[in-house]
Structure 1
Amino acid sequence: MDIYGSEKAELEALERAVVDATADPMPLTFSLLKHITEDFSKKNLIGEGGFASVYLGTLPNGSRVAVKKLSQHHTIDEKGFHHEVDITIKVAHKNIVRLIGYCSHTHEERVLYNGQYIWAEVRQRLICLEYFPNGTLDGYITYKFHEGLDWNHRYQILKGICEALSHLHDELHIIHRDIKPGNILLDDDFVPKLYDFGLSMLSNEDEENLYSGDGVGTFGYLAPEAFNGHFSFKSDIYSLGVMISELLIGGRSYQDVEKVLEDLRERLVKDEAFPLLEENFQQVRTCLEIGNNCIELDVDKRPTAFEIIQLLDKMEYTNYSVSSGHAPPLWQSGDVKLDYSDMDTIEQEPEPESTSDFPTNDQELADLNTNGETSTEEHDKPDLLSGLPTSEDLAKLKFLEKITDGFSLENLVGDDGMFGDFRKAFVYKGTISGRTMIAVKRLIGVGTKATKFEREAKNLMSLDHKNIVKLLGYCHDESREHKLVQFKGTPPQDRGKEPEQLLCYEYMHNGSLHEYLAGKGYQEPDWPMRYELIKGTCEGLHYLHEGLGDCRIVHLNLTPSNVLLDKNYVPHITGFDISRLIGQNRTNSVLFELKGQIRYLPRDFLNPMGTDTDLAPVDIYSLGLMILEIATRQEIDEQETFIKSVRDNWREEAQIASLYTSLEPDKLCQVKLCIDIGLDCVKSKPENRPTAGAIIHRLDKGSRPEPVPDSIPLVHTNLTHADDCTQGKQKRTGLGKLFGRK
């Protein structure tokens, strides 16, 4: 490493600071950090996120540091950088990563902008931290107890995290706001070190709760109240509770402690790893109870970090081993016959069970005529298999490779990103005889057993409705040991040993509803088109919920991106295949790992303790948000704010008329009806939301208004329901504020 003069002196000072735990954080030059990371080379990249990248820095004496480089923006948030440095300096503790240095560097560069070169100010903001070769905790969370961390390591890691939180909460009054395994580093002895204080908040001693206005953090670990921007020390405790479940059993489970212990014992016996925990039964039980208390909905019932430490200390000095006689028979070893089917999580999914139709309280629904909506004999729908390959061809992997050009990046038209960084499906365009005919969905990491995959695929193929994307065929191939998958802007990824599982659908030429509403179509949809989009989507969901008898399908990820448009812009629902293939229960738990878009999921689903067995109201909530988006021509940013804005600004027909200036009164009444329906769908209590059938009934009734006699003038109203548009007193109000798109 060729460094001279002042940089050499700076380097020597850095080497001393690395080994001196009492050294104050020092300012560092950008050129030095470039040298020790080899100009931030890819081979030194050890971590990457949405806001920063972390590189390994090596010093001449062999010492190593971690260099966190904030994402480069011309308008980088200086307050955020200053905040993270100040907080990290303040939180010195044996279970918190130590800040060694920081760098604030600005220079000018000549860059190409709009076809011309201009001088731009480039800002580099970096933080130098301790380096830990064992990486982050999430790399050690495994379902197998004979792999990775033993019980003593897991227990000590849990205790160390609690001690870090107690230091933050009780001594410094700091709320971390992003407690998760990815923010826990492990040193050579697996001592946990909490880091990343970019989202942390400082509270006053007498201020227990803070409101930030945003639900920042990592979905799956975020406390329910935090989705509305309310944070407290107990919000961190909730995140800790989720981590405890992962740390102890290798995944998340929200069952009662006894059920988890029983499942865990059976799994350990099956894996021949039972002796690893047999002597620590009571410790496991106590830690699981602590975890369950941490995720209580009632914030006041969650323990403090200090109270958890007291429980752990008390447990350490008590002998609860099997030999002492304190362990109940549940924990005694023995032969257990297990059938784990295709599940790889604690929560076992039963075989498909009968589910009655979602009940309605409206007697008028008895007369609801759905002929032509759920019938498999839709004469106005073209024969989807006309001119397409046979199902036998679609079952051949070589044929699907051929029509997608080897699953090339050029033929990639979409992906299912509902699981954050770990995508579950990639969709490719399949071209046959020079014409685009089908969409091939290639499942990644789903790992459904062949028998279940074939059973569910056949069930999905039997679905036949004008507002559901038609499944034409499927392929299960075990001839390969691995497969490479490439996504836009990333190198190919080796997904390991697993069978190829693919689903072939009819091709939707006009993309998704999301793209269409965002103006990516040929023209912005007028109200009649918007109404047809709403009604078609409702009819598709009604078919899934109520048109299949005992085999109802709950989508669990209904968004505008999962509604596709055919050549005539008729909406078709897609994306529900994942929940069928991995199971409703497992979909519920997997969605808690979501790192991306969550804006269409209701709080009762986001909160695991409040999720009921019937999840149809989850889809209704998502549908309601979509209806409000379509009707008000707005796009959701934050759920609660969006719903409140609709209630405040779009409940009066005069306000609606300001948005649709050329609509006739009966059509304005139709817009109001849709807004009223949407607001009913997003009610906080699931039991108060309408069924899909009830929505269709209201839409049908609203699309055929009673004729108005010439002698009775049409009067605008502010009634909650718009079924009777000609009754009520006229009310004039000022225009509501316009927001979003035109």
Structure 2
Amino acid sequence: MAAAGRIGGHRRLLDTAPAPAGDDRAGSNPGDAMRIMVGVLVTVVFCTLLYCIYCWRWRKRNGEYGAQTICSGFSCHLLSLLDSLWPRSSSDLPLMDLASILAATGNFSKANKLGEGGFGPVYRGVLSGGSEIAVKRLSARSRQGAAEFRNEVELIAKLQHRNLVRLLGWCAERDEKLLVYEYLPNRSLDAFLFDPRKRRHLGWSTRQNIIHGIARGMLYLHEDSLLKVVHRDLKASNVLLDVKMNPKISDFGMAKIFKDESGGINNTGRVVGTYGYMAPEVALEGVFSVKSDVFSFGVLLLEILSGQRNGALYLEEHHQSLIRGAWRLWIEDHAVEFMDPSLSRSFSREEAWRCYHVGLLCVQEDPDVRPTMSSVLLMLISDHMKLPEPAKPPLFAKLRSIPSPPALPLTARTGSRAPPHSINDVTITTIEPR
């Protein structure tokens, strides 16, 4: 027992004795070094991930045009990964701050004002990075309100097509409600089409390209997009033109999503739309469907061919709507008289007559016999497709009172007063049949 105690005592002394000089075990422990390395690595990875999440959120808030200024290399790959993990929903459309928009538009200066529609004024702006934008500012006097603003933000974020205008971001700060779009230098179709001087720039090939582009955009909304959409306010002022005069449909504040594949018929009991473009079932009963959009497209097509507006001024001068005049000249075989004189008859007669024929098919009174947009596009681009005979268009719904247009310079074409570009920008709710 005593020997065992001595042996145990010697072992304890050996365990507590200092290590000899030069022994590697004296200054370090492999386990501690590993823990330090892992700690440093975790910290680096965590900080990198935190930075990438910050960049990703910044890009969501400020849009893709600023993303390249804060990310590069590996972090951009991580941003793409984050985008794939969290796909952008309607509410993920970039939210822009008011200060940036005020700086871009010069505090909404008159010099930057592009025009005004039913939503409110539109301003040109230049962001700090040099990108040009168009800003729609909800007016306090606008007939459209918060619901239409929210509808456009929620809807257009899900729609991507070359013939639809691209929404870059939005802002709802203080009392301002703003939509930020890509800037299109040629502005709207009505600014060209109904201006006696500018419409000379719309040759036949340009007009045909515009007609086809609008048809493709409407076909996408009705049949090819993930959401099936009825626009409900297709008109010349809601078609914008890019630098190459390609059309882009805009203004989705009144658009509605329908759930069934047939394009559903909806009766809201509320008449919305623009005088001159509304189908009779919309004007009289508030019933809308894809076929009411087809009617609006037909009116717009006839306006592009004639260079005249199907509005109050035409009704006042001719005692009938533009579509009734088109029908009369069609049955009398004087269709050439309907074409815009500024074209100087330098157009393909076959192509023009096909467009004319399709326009009359679109404005038929019975929505069931109007073609779908897929049929419309096929008829427009096909050289050999036999078209059905159009039926007589409806008597046009008439406003209770038609405001007299303000005094403007006489046009070179007819000697009549030129209508303001905004005459068709008003949504009406009170109508009666003529």
Matching residue of 2:36: none
Cα distance between partner residues in 2 of 1:218 and 1:36: 32
Match of 1:41 among 104, 109, 112: 109
TM-score, with length taken from structure 1 = 0.39
Shift of 1:307: 0.5
**Residue 248 (structure 1) aligned to one of 305, 312, 323:** 305
Equivalent position of 1:202 in the other structure? 257
**Residue 210 of structure 2 corresponds to residue 157 of structure 1:** yes
Q: Is 1:169 aligned with 2:222?
A: yes
Q: SS where residue 379 of structure 2 aligns? A: helix
For residue 270 of structure 2, what is the aligned residue in structure 1? 214
Match of 1:273 among 339, 344, 348: 344
Instruction: Describe how 1:505-520 pairs up with structure 2 within 5 A.
Output: none
> Residues 25, 179 of structure 1: CA spacing in aligned structure 2 closer, same or farther, 3 A cutoff?
same
Q: Report how far residue 124 of structure 1 moved.
A: 1.6
Matches within 5 A, 1:231-310: 231-251=288-308, 252-254=322-324, 255-256=327-328, 258=330, 262=334, 264-265=336-337, 273-274=344-345, 276-277=346-347, 280-310=348-378
The AA in structure 2 aligned to 1:124 is E
**1:156 shift after superposition:** 0.9
Matched, 1:602 2:432: yes
Shift of 1:29: 0.6
Q: 1:44-123 to 2 correspondence within 5 Å?
A: 44-72=112-140, 77-106=145-174, 123=175
Is residue 119–residue 138 contact of structure 2 (8 Å, CA) maintained in 1? yes
**Counterpart of 2:395?**
none
Note if contact 2:118-2:144 (Cα within 8 Å) is conserved in structure 1. Answer: no
How far residue 51 of structure 1 moved from its aligned partner, in angstroms, is 3.0
- TM-score w.r.t. the length of structure 2 is 0.64
Other-structure match for 2:178? 126
Over the aligned positions, Cα root-mean-square deviation in angstroms equals 3.6
| 2:33 matched residue in structure 1 | none
| C-alpha contact (below 8 Å) 2:126/2:132 kept by paired residues | yes
Is the contact between residue 226 and residue 235 of structure 1 (CA under 8 Å) also seen in structure 2?
yes
1:284 and 1:82 map into 2 onto residues whose CA distance is: 40
Q: Name 1:362's counterpart in structure 2.
A: none
Q: Once the two structures are superposed, what CA deviation does each residue of 1:418-448 show, in whole Å capped at 9, x if it has no partner?
A: 555xx436xxxxxxxxxxxxxxxxxx3xxxx
Moved over 6 A (4+): 9-12, 73-76, 143-146
Q: Secondary structure at the match of 1:140?
A: helix
**Judging changes above 3 Å, is the alpha-carbon distance between structure 1 residues 303 and 143 closer, same or farther for their aligned structure 2 residues?**
farther
Shift of 1:64: 0.7
Change (3 A) 1:77 1:136: closer
Please give the residue correspondences for 1:387-398 in structure 2 after superposition, counting only pairs within 5 Å: none
3-state SS in 2 of match to 1:242:
helix
How far apart are residue 496 of structure 1 and its match?
2.8
| Corresponding pairs, count | 314
Residue aligned with 2:382, SS: helix
CA contact (8 A) 2:143 2:427 kept: no
Residue 136 of structure 1 is matched in structure 2 by 188
Distance 1:49 1:14 in 2: 28
Of the three residues 274, 287, 309, the one matched with 1:230 is 287
Aligned partner letter, 2:365: L
Q: Does 1:191 align with 2:246?
A: yes
The 3-state SS of whatever aligns with 2:201 is coil
Tell me by how many angstroms 1:59 deviates: 2.1
Partner of 1:15: 65
Letter in 2 for 1:36: A
Residues in 2 aligned to 1:63 and 1:215: alpha-carbon distance in whole angstroms: 39
Question: Residue 200 of structure 2: SS of its match in structure 1?
Answer: coil
SS class of match (2:334): helix
1:424 aligns with 2:405: yes
Distance 2:202 2:62 in 1: 37
1:178 to 200, 218, 233: 233
Question: How far off is 1:202 after superposition?
Answer: 0.8
Partner of 1:702 in structure 2? none
Give SS of 1:147's match.
helix
Q: Is the 8 A contact 1:211 1:231 kept in 2?
A: yes
Determine if contact 2:165/2:248 at 8 Å carries over to the other structure: yes
Query: How far has the Cα of 1:250 moved from its partner?
Result: 1.1
Report the alpha carbon displacement of residue 178 of structure 1 after superposing the two structures with TM: 0.1
Once residues 180 and 332 of structure 2 are traced to their aligned partners in structure 1, the CA distance between those partners, rounded to angstroms, is 41
- Aligned-pair CA distance for 1:211: 1.4
The whole-number CA distance in structure 1 between the counterparts of 2:139 and 2:297 is 28
Tell me: CA distance 1:179–1:285, structure 2 relative to 1, closer, same or farther (3 Å). Answer: same
CA deviation map 1:30-72 (0-9, x unaligned):
1111111111111111121243221111123432101111124
Q: 2 CA distance for matches of 1:75 and 1:154?
A: 31
Q: Percent identity?
A: 30
**Alignment of structure 1 residues 223-622 onto 2, 5 Å:** 223-227=279-283, 228-251=285-308, 252-254=322-324, 255-256=327-328, 258=330, 262=334, 264-265=336-337, 273-274=344-345, 276-277=346-347, 280-315=348-383, 419=402, 423-424=404-405, 444=407, 495-496=408-409, 595=426, 599=430, 602-603=432-433, 605=434
Change (3 A) 1:311 1:74: closer
Structure having the higher Rg: 2
SS at match of 1:96: coil
C-alpha distance in 2 between matches for 1:133 and 1:142 = 18
1:419–1:594 Cα contact (<8 Å) kept: no
CA drift of 1:83 comes to: 1.5
> Contact (CA 8 Å) 1:241, 1:294: kept in 2 or not?
yes
Cα distance, 1:88–1:139 mapped onto 2, change above 3 Å: same
Conservation of the 8 A alpha-carbon contact between 1:419 and 1:593: no
Task: Determine if contact 1:72/1:124 at 8 Å carries over to the other structure.
Answer: no
Contact 1:177 1:235 (8 Å CA) reproduced: yes
When residues 134 and 419 of structure 1 are mapped into structure 2, their CA distance, relative to the original with a 3 A threshold, is farther
For 2:275, give the aligned amino acid: F
Cα deviation, residue 301, structure 1:
0.7
Q: Secondary structure at the match of 1:26?
A: coil
8 Å Cα contact 2:273-2:427 kept in structure 1: no
Amino acid at match of 1:223: A
Q: Give the superposition deviation at 1:261.
A: 6.4
Higher normalized contact order (CA 8 Å, seq sep 6+, divided by chain length):
2
CA distance in 2: counterparts of 1:202 and 1:216, whole angstroms: 15
Q: Distance in 1 between matches of 2:242 and 2:287?
A: 33
Q: Distance in 2 between matches of 1:256 and 1:209?
A: 30
**AA in 1 matched with 2:95:** P
Offset from partner CA, 1:690-733 (integer Å, 9 cap, x none): xxxxxxxxxxxxxxxxxxxxxxxxxxxxxxxxxxxxxxxxxxxx
Query: How far is the alpha carbon of 1:595 from its aligned partner?
Result: 4.3
Query: Which consecutive unaligned segments of at least 5 residues does structure 1 have?
Result: 1-5, 107-122, 319-416, 426-443, 445-494, 499-580, 583-591, 606-742
| Distance in 2 of aligned mates of 1:234 and 1:75 | 25
- Contact residue 220 and residue 594 of structure 1 kept, 8 A: no
Normalized per residue, which structure has more helix?
2
